[in-house]
Each structure stands twice: as C-alpha cells, then as structure tokens.
Structure 1
Amino acid sequence: MKRPVALRLYAALGAAALAAAAGVVLSIPEASAATGGVTGFATQNGGTTGGAGGQTVQASTGTAIHTALCTRASSSTPIIIQVSGTINHGNTTKVSGDSCNTAADKIELKEISNVTIIGVGGGAVFDQLGIHIRDSSNIIIQNVTVRNVKKSGSPLSNGGDAIGMESTVRNIWVDHVTLEASGGEAEGFDGLFDMKDNTQYVTLSYSILRNSGRGGLIGSSESDTSNGFVTFHHNLYENIDSRTPLLRGGIAHIYNNSYVSLHESGINSRAGARAKVDNNYFRNSKDVLGTFYTDQAGYWQVSGNIFDNVTWSSPGEDTNPAGPNVQSNTSVSIPYAYTLDGASCVPNIVSQTAGANKGLQVSNGNCVPQTPTTTPPTGSSPTPTRTASPNPTTPAPTTPAPPSGTNLSIGAGADGSSKASGTSYGNVRDGDMNTYWSPAGSTGSISIKWGSATSVSRINIREHSGAAGAIGSWRIVNADNGAVLRTGSGAGSFTFAQTSLKKITFEITSANGTPRVAEYETYAS
C-alpha cells in the first residue's frame, strides 16, 4: 500500500461557455495554439501529426468533445479540438456515431485516428475525468490539466489513470500537460500516465506529474512486454511515491527531466526493459533508478545525470538499485536526433517550460526558454522555430552522390517478406545490377542480416533498369527492435543515425508498379 501524498489545492480555470447545448463551435479561432514540434519516438513509425489539416472545433464540455469526434465523416478524418473551461462528469455524456466510440465516465478516444486535443483561452481542466486512448493512433494532446482521476471511491473514471493508453495504440504525443492527483492508491488514485497492451511510439514532453502514488507505467504485468519506444523529456516529476516510470520490457529514452521528492523509487526498469537515461536531475529522492519489487531484471544506459541528496537501498532479492555508483549495464540506440540541455540547468528550464498554461515554451537546447510560432488559423501543420528532431518523412534526393566505403551487404545474409517467381533475396547483395529481387505483390520487404551486431548509418537502394521509378514510399526498420530509422519515397542513398543491429529491413509500403531491387547496399558511414 502506497503512502498518502499531501493534498494540494488548485484553482479552477474559468472560461465562458462557448455555446449552448453540446457546446460545439466550428470556427477559425482568433487566438490559435502554439507548438514546439513533435519530438522523440513519436516522430518515428511515420510520425505524429494529430489533426493537422482538419477542421478546427471548439468545445467546453466533455459531451462537445465526443460530439466533435462523432460528427466527423469517418473515424480517421483529421480534426483539431480546442478545449477551454472545466470538463467533468457533469458535462460529459456518451455520444454515438459511425466515426466514434465514446463513454460517459471518461473522454474516450477509441478506434479513431488523426486527432488533436489542445487547451486554449483561459485553460482546459479535466477534473476527476481521465482521457482514455484505446485501439487508436496519431493523437496529440497539448496544454491541458488532468487532475484527481479515481479508480476507487467516487466518481470513477478510466481505471484511475489521468491519461491511459491500451490495446494497440500507436504514435501519441502528449505535450505541455499537467497531470496531478491528491494522494496514492489508498485514496483511490492510480497512474498519471499509463501504457499497456501493445502501446508504442509515444512521447511525453514538457509536462508536470505530481502529488501521486504512481507516476506511470509501460506494461501492466511482467508478461505485458509488447509496449515500448517511449520518450520522456523535459518533464517535472514531483512528490511521487514510485513509477517515474515503471518499465516492463521495451525501450525508453529518458532525458532532461527534473525529479523532486520521489519517496520510494523512481525509474524502475524491469522484465528486460532498456532505458537510456541522459542528463536528468534527481533531487531529495530515494532509489531513483534500478530494478525494484521483482527479480526480473531490467537495464539502463546512463550519462550526464546529477544525483542531489539521493539515497539508495541495499541490494536484495527483489531490489537492485543502480546506485550509489551508477553505471550502465546495456547500450540503447536512439533513431532520432535530439539536443541535450546540461543537467545542472534542467530544474530551471523545466520549471519555466513544463506544464499547461506556460505558453508552450520549449528549450532552445541551451537551457533558455523560447516561445514557438503559432498554429496558422486553418489548423494546418505549423512551422516551429525549433524542432528537436528532423522530419522523418522528408525523402532524400533520388540521385545522391554514391556512398563510399565498404558495402557491408556483400557476404551478409538476406531474407524478406516474399519474392516473385524467378527472383531471389540474395540477388540484392551479389554486386550484380542484372539480377534483382521483387516482392510477390506490389509491396513487401527485403532485409540484410549479419551474425553479430553491425553499425550501419546509410543504405543505398539501386533499382533494376527494367523497373526504374517503381518504388514508392518506404520505411527503413531496425528489425532487431522494430524501430523505424527513416521513411521516404523512391530509390537512392539514405542516411540515419548510426545504429548497431543484426538485421535491417527496407520495407516498400507503396509502389508505381512491380519494384525490382537490384542492390541493397549498407554502409557504416
């Protein structure tokens, strides 16, 4: 049983009603929201754009949010929902429609995609009402407060999670939010930010998580290891007992976060999870990193962290703290670009930028806050003043300078998803432009593989002359862990962050005919 956490009082953020009845207003807003640009693992797997390009809707009730989702042309029609006022059980009802699947006791984002929910005006507070994402993809949640969501007692909502994700969820960006409780499990609260049952490619950035028994988890049990590829950066974890986060399997990148008053444990890597923990600041806390409450070990790679008045337990059967002599016990490859603020200034930059109603400010990479550009009134995707990661969908030129160095594919193995009659996987690594591989249909994947980990940062796809221009869109995938290294279109030479792997896959996701890959070259640089 977790200890009670001191109750904090919060002032409700008032806002005038935007409309009567359901409270939905279709408009071009006068004061549009800002964004610093999607970062972290949410940039991978095709990227996260939310409702960019869709209709902008204003809502001041939970019913209005559900109505906006249910009146779209389809469950994937892009939409930006601008929220103001207090959303609670009293103004949230179930709404039905062909493009939605909602509920009365939570904000339900189920079996949908391409949605942005963003707080505007005087602020948006989800009071005792959680946000539940299930069987959904490409969702952005920004600039909102979610508080005092309960799993026991009254009123109940979303299993007690402030924001909860489960059951095949992909590409979620949660940014500049404040998630808070008024106690621990004994007081009826659960996690602030939970992911389970196959949730992947998530980023939590510039947010506050506080006054709770549980910060959040990745994986609901030691057997739920299908989750991962999650980034946590520039967040404040304050006055929390444990789970900042709890990791069961998968990969997490945790950098530039400020941790204050973690009472029992912090980053808890278990059941084979691997965490890259960079330039964080831990203060006045206990057991901030390690494997706790299980004998199923997890792993971590550490650099640049500051441990200020941190105490550590002695190792035991179910306790394996990383400190006091904190060392790496694994290596984690990160497929996207990012800039690290120095750990010494993390508490200051996080205090200025993290949480709702902070102007969506971000760090400039040197611990200085900056205000990004505003979203155009049409709701189209903005051009930020700074983006921490490159656009993964920008294709490289189709006629680049040929790569130099050793083609690592020569002498390696090859396999794929399928092959057309008369073609072979091995044809892509034989140095002969007259032989080739084609998928059995118009799309498919071809892989190069090695017996031991090999560093790769560039591939060169050379088409057979008989099908030049047939390759449409594609993904480059680290087949060891499923991470998407790059996406684009057309044949050519493509670079990405240097990655150590045993197998790299070129997956053709669309084509202008039958692709013919004559050579799939791989290079270290």
Structure 2
Amino acid sequence: MRRSTTRRLVSALATAAVITAGLALPMSTASAQTGSATGYASQNGGTTGGAGGQTVRATTGTQIHQALCDRPSTSTPIVIEVQGTITHGNTSKVSGPGCETADGVIELKKISNVTIVGTGSGAVFDQVGIHIRESRNIIIQNVTVRNVKKSGSPTSNGGDAIGMEKDVRNVWVDHVTLEASGGESEGYDGLFDMKNNTQYVTLSYSILRNSGRGGLVGSSESDLSNGHVTFHHNLYENIDSRAPLLRGGIGHMYNNHYVDLHKSGINSRAGARAKVENNYFEDSRDVLGTFYTNERGSWEVRGNVFDNVTWSSQGDKNYPAGPDPRSTTSVSIPYSYQLDDAGCVPEMLGRIAGAGKGNRVSDGDCEAQEPVDPDPTDPTDPTDPDPVDPDPTDPPEGVNLSIGAGADGSGKGGGTSYGNVVDGDMGTYWSPSGSTGRISVKWGSDVTVSSVVIREASGAEGNIGSWRLVDHDTGAVLATGTGAGVITFGPTSLRKINFEITSSNGTPRVAEFETYA
C-alpha cells in the first residue's frame, strides 16, 4: 500500500545516524528498565516506576501478581522483569497487603512505584490485558500485548490491551507492541485507553496495529478530566480510528508515523487541544480533525508530512483539518524535547519502535530527504503543474522577502552556509551535503508568499534536477518541477518554506532563494 519511495536519513553521519549517532544502543535485549520518562510522564513529580526497589523475575501472570502482593505495602518500589508468554492459564488472582489482583488480567490496582519490563527472549501477554486503576508512578516497557478481547472467549480487561481508569497519574509506556486481529465485531476494543481522571501519561517508541481502535483519552463527551498525554515516536498501522480520540485536555503528538488509517486518525473533540508536530501521515484518511460529533476540539500543526492522505468534506459531525491543515489553537508544552524531521520518521521507527528492539531511541538530530517524484513533469498528475519559468532573470515585482529572513536546511556542503541564500549576494551559495537536500527560508511571523525565485551559482547552472516547494508547517506541496527559475503558486500564508531538491545533474549550488508576496 505504501508508495515505492526511497527515504534517506541525513544527519552528521548520514544513515549511520540511525545506527550510531542517531540512536542510543543500550543492549540488544532489555535487562530491567532503561532510559528515563519523557513527555508529560516526566511532569507532576516525574515517573520512575520501581527504580530503587527489589528486582523480581516472573514467567507467568500469577508470578507477576505474587511479586506485587509480597511487597510490604502497596507503595514499596519493585521492578518485575518478565520473560515468556503470559496467558489466561497462568494468570490467577493472588491476595496480599501489596495488591488487589484478579484472574485473567494483569491488575495494577491501588498501587504505586512499579515497573514491568520484558527481558531475555521477550515477554508476550497473549489475550491478557494490563489494567491500571487508581494507581500512580507505573512504567511498562519492552512487552507485547496482543489479541485482548471484550467478547468471545477468553475475555480480559474490557478488550483493552492497556487500559487506565480512575485517578491514574504518571504512567510511562515505552517500547511496547500492542496489536489486535480486528475490530469490535471480532471482539476487540482499544489498544491504549485512558479514562476517568487519568493524567500525565506518555506512550513512546511503540507499535499499535491491526485494530479497529487505536485508543482514547476520555470515555465520553462528559469525561473531560483526562489529559496531559504525550504520544511520540510511535507507529500506528492498519487502524480504523482513534489514533487517538482525545476528549478534553491536552495531547502532544510528535514524530509518529501513521499509515493505513482507514476512517480517521487524531480526533480532537469536546474542547481538547492537540499539538501535532513533525509526524508522517501516509496512505490514510482524515488523519486530523473533529469526527463523529459537533463538540469540536482544536489543534496546532507544524512540520508534518501528508503523503497520500485523503480528506472528506466538512459537514454535520465531521470537521476534517485538511486538505490544508492549519492551526486553530496554540499549545504550550512545559517539558523539553527534540524533534526529528518528519521525513526521517518512517525509516527510523521501522528500526527502533516496538518491543524487542533493544529500547533504542533517537537523539533528535535526524534530518530527512523527501522522496523523489519519478516523473515530476507528468501532465496526467494534477499535483505536478511544472510551474517553473526557466528564465530566472525576470523576477516578480516587489520586495524580496528573503532578505533579513532566517534559513536552515537538511545539511550543507563544506564551505557553504544556509544564510548564503538570503544575503542578496550571487557570489555566495549553499550546497547540500549530498546530491540532494532541503534549503528553507523562515520568518518569525506569518508572511504571504506567491512566488519564489531559485538562482543557481555561476558554473552550476542546470545542476538542479527535480524539486518540491513545501509549506514546512503544514506539509502542503505548493509546487513541483525541474530546474531553477521563477516558481509561482497561489498566495500562501506561512512561516517557513522548503525548497527540496529530489534529484540533480551535478552538485546543486543555490546562490539565492528569493521569495515574493
């Protein structure tokens, strides 16, 4: 289903960024908890799980319950290292002062300071869900939870792979794989659900796939006590909807890859506010908006890529953000974080997201080259109007808005600078670190641009091959074509514009990247 494209990860060490500089490599298989909580789970006092407590090994669900129950109190820190397959047959209720457990579900109820981490050859919870209720400071890492059902047989946790409800605080779920084998009609519910006053949660470096419902934050339009949730570096694949459904509160979604979303994706409703940054949306429908209700939410969008995304028409109970997603709110984030380029995300997450990947993470320094359009001049492709004037000597009238603006890019060749394309000097230039790359002009506030002039340095004329001109914040493609020159398009309000060189006939040298109203 995915387009046949080539993506290259570009940073200081090019593709090696994913293997060395771009990833921390603690070990091939996790041994106890690794890393520190990120996103909103790092707030409200932080999330440390069972750090500092006893480490216990478990190969059955009953042993997990026993480890909880054997603690002196419900708050005594504990790290439970799990290996093997947890099933209904080996998950029984255990009683004790440190627990309230039940058969057929991993029950983390009225407890705190617990880490559950897969180790050794891995941990799989097969048809057994993980239920967190009235608990805080919980970490779940490096496990697979699959095929948890709410109807049929056997059932567990209301059909949620991981479910949180009633006064839950500070949960970090990291490097997990959550999967089903269908939707509600096949007996499954959500993969990652939060409701009834659940706050300060982060889901990171995880895979959610093959389900009708990715997950929700808030069980109804009146359940608005949830929020402060971060979703970053996750893969959502083959999901009908709820990626996630966000009711009320704040959600921060960055550097996720959404592919094959059938009905809708990020569904911000009932006053929710979503900050949606540097995600890659691919081969999907209605990936952002308010859906199935007139109680609308809002969103802030920046740096996302929309690759083969289709949008429905706005109507009653249907308010898609596209086809030209724009911010409808502003969301302030209280924690620090580093953004990878959206174009890096698919290949990166293919290497590091999910259980059994060594808990590897990005260093936030990955930059990307966009896919090459195999025929940018194809007249049958309505997105390729080839709007370039091959004669750059007759620029549009008016002031060059690039003078005094900022500039950055995907990488730069030796002796060149991003700023050289906005200095008004044809004697200076920028070259990419390879044969292709991105150069951008940016402003501190919105400007309206309707034409661009790309000028090549002396001696490099004709080196630029195919290119795309992109609104950086929305991912909208403004124009495509080949060669340098004058590029015109509909007036567009933006803060950053990308000129992405996707093929070349030699080393590109861009002397000036001029912009005009």
Q: Look up the match of 1:228.
A: 227
Give the aligned residue type for 1:191.
G
Q: Look up the match of 2:375.
A: none
Q: Look up the match of 2:279.
A: 280
Q: Look up the match of 1:131.
A: 130
Report if aligned partners of 2:33, 2:115 keep a CA contact under 8 Å in 1: no
Q: 1:31 to 1:37 in 2, by over 3 A?
A: closer
Q: Look up the match of 1:106.
A: 105
Give the aligned residue type for 1:360.
N
Q: Look up the match of 2:241.
A: 242
Report if aligned partners of 1:82, 1:117 keep a CA contact under 8 Å in 2: yes
Q: After superposition, where does 1:54-453 map in structure 2 within 5 Å?
A: 54-367=53-366
CA distance in structure 2 between the aligned counterparts of 1:41 and 1:116, rounded to whole angstroms: 18
CA distance in structure 2 between the aligned counterparts of 1:34 and 1:191, rounded to whole angstroms: 26
CA distance in structure 2 between the aligned counterparts of 1:300 and 1:36, rounded to whole angstroms: 30
TM-score of the two chains, using structure 2 as the length reference: 0.65
Shift of 1:336: 0.2
Report if aligned partners of 1:34, 1:359 keep a CA contact under 8 Å in 2: no
Shift of 1:165: 0.0
Shift of 1:143: 0.1
Give the aligned residue type for 1:344.
G
Report if aligned partners of 1:36, 1:361 keep a CA contact under 8 Å in 2: no
Paired residues in the alignment total 339
Report if aligned partners of 2:181, 2:211 keep a CA contact under 8 Å in 1: yes
Give the aligned residue type for 1:188.
G
Q: 1:245 to 1:31 in 2, by over 3 A?
A: closer
CA distance in structure 1 between the aligned counterparts of 2:125 and 2:238, rounded to whole angstroms: 21
CA distance in structure 1 between the aligned counterparts of 2:350 and 2:333, rounded to whole angstroms: 26
Report if aligned partners of 1:283, 1:310 keep a CA contact under 8 Å in 2: yes
Report if aligned partners of 1:85, 1:122 keep a CA contact under 8 Å in 2: yes
> Could you give the per-residue CA deviations for residues 457-510 of structure 1, whole angstroms, max 9, x where no partner exists?
xxxxxxxxxxxxxxxxxxxxxxxxxxxxxxxxxxxxxxxxxxxxxxxxxxxxxx
Runs of 4+ aligned structure 1 residues displaced above 3 Å come to: none
Give the aligned residue type for 1:291.
T
2:365 alignment partner, SS class: coil
Q: Look up the match of 1:51.
A: 50
CA distance in structure 2 between the aligned counterparts of 1:55 and 1:269, rounded to whole angstroms: 41
Structure 2 unaligned regions, length at least 5: 1-28, 368-517
Q: Look up the match of 1:19.
A: none
CA distance in structure 2 between the aligned counterparts of 1:112 and 1:304, rounded to whole angstroms: 39
1:347 alignment partner, SS class: helix
CA distance in structure 2 between the aligned counterparts of 1:37 and 1:342, rounded to whole angstroms: 22
2:57 alignment partner, SS class: strand
Give the aligned residue type for 1:347.
P
Give the aligned residue type for 2:61.
G
CA distance in structure 2 between the aligned counterparts of 1:249 and 1:215, rounded to whole angstroms: 17
Give the aligned residue type for 1:46.
G
Report if aligned partners of 1:36, 1:362 keep a CA contact under 8 Å in 2: no
Report if aligned partners of 2:30, 2:142 keep a CA contact under 8 Å in 1: no
Q: 1:159 to 1:31 in 2, by over 3 A?
A: closer
1:345 alignment partner, SS class: helix
CA distance in structure 2 between the aligned counterparts of 1:160 and 1:136, rounded to whole angstroms: 20
CA distance in structure 1 between the aligned counterparts of 2:39 and 2:186, rounded to whole angstroms: 34
Shift of 1:348: 1.1
Shift of 1:36: 2.8
Report if aligned partners of 1:281, 1:346 keep a CA contact under 8 Å in 2: yes
Give the aligned residue type for 2:233.
H
2:212 alignment partner, SS class: strand
CA RMSD across the alignment: 1.1
TM-score of the two chains, using structure 1 as the length reference: 0.64
CA distance in structure 2 between the aligned counterparts of 1:252 and 1:204, rounded to whole angstroms: 11
Give the aligned residue type for 2:174.
D
1:229 alignment partner, SS class: strand
Give the aligned residue type for 2:341.
G
Q: 1:80 to 1:261 in 2, by over 3 A?
A: same
1:220 alignment partner, SS class: coil
Report if aligned partners of 2:33, 2:141 keep a CA contact under 8 Å in 1: no
CA distance in structure 2 between the aligned counterparts of 1:318 and 1:200, rounded to whole angstroms: 27
Q: Look up the match of 1:39.
A: 38
CA distance in structure 2 between the aligned counterparts of 1:34 and 1:246, rounded to whole angstroms: 29
1:77 alignment partner, SS class: coil
CA distance in structure 1 between the aligned counterparts of 2:212 and 2:224, rounded to whole angstroms: 23
Shift of 1:34: 5.2
> Could you give the per-residue CA deviations for residues 188-245 of structure 1, whole angstroms, max 9, x where no partner exists?
0000000000000000000000000000000000000000000000000000000000
Q: Which has the larger displacement, 96-105 or 129-138?
A: 96-105
> Could you give the per-residue CA deviations for residues 258-289 of structure 1, whole angstroms, max 9, x where no partner exists?
00000000000000000000000000000000
Identity of aligned residues (%): 76
Shift of 1:105: 1.9
1:260 alignment partner, SS class: strand
Report if aligned partners of 1:205, 1:232 keep a CA contact under 8 Å in 2: yes
2:344 alignment partner, SS class: helix
1:264 alignment partner, SS class: coil
Give the aligned residue type for 1:156.
T
Q: Look up the match of 1:14.
A: none
CA distance in structure 2 between the aligned counterparts of 1:66 and 1:156, rounded to whole angstroms: 18
Shift of 1:367: 3.0
1:182 alignment partner, SS class: strand
CA distance in structure 1 between the aligned counterparts of 2:248 and 2:31, rounded to whole angstroms: 39
Shift of 1:31: 7.5
Report if aligned partners of 1:123, 1:144 keep a CA contact under 8 Å in 2: yes
Shift of 1:32: 2.7
CA distance in structure 1 between the aligned counterparts of 2:131 and 2:304, rounded to whole angstroms: 33
> Could you give the per-residue CA deviations for residues 283-340 of structure 1, whole angstroms, max 9, x where no partner exists?
0000000000000000000000000000000001100000001000001010000000
Give the aligned residue type for 1:285.
S
Shift of 1:86: 0.2
Q: 1:139 to 1:278 in 2, by over 3 A?
A: same
CA distance in structure 2 between the aligned counterparts of 1:315 and 1:333, rounded to whole angstroms: 28
Shift of 1:33: 3.2
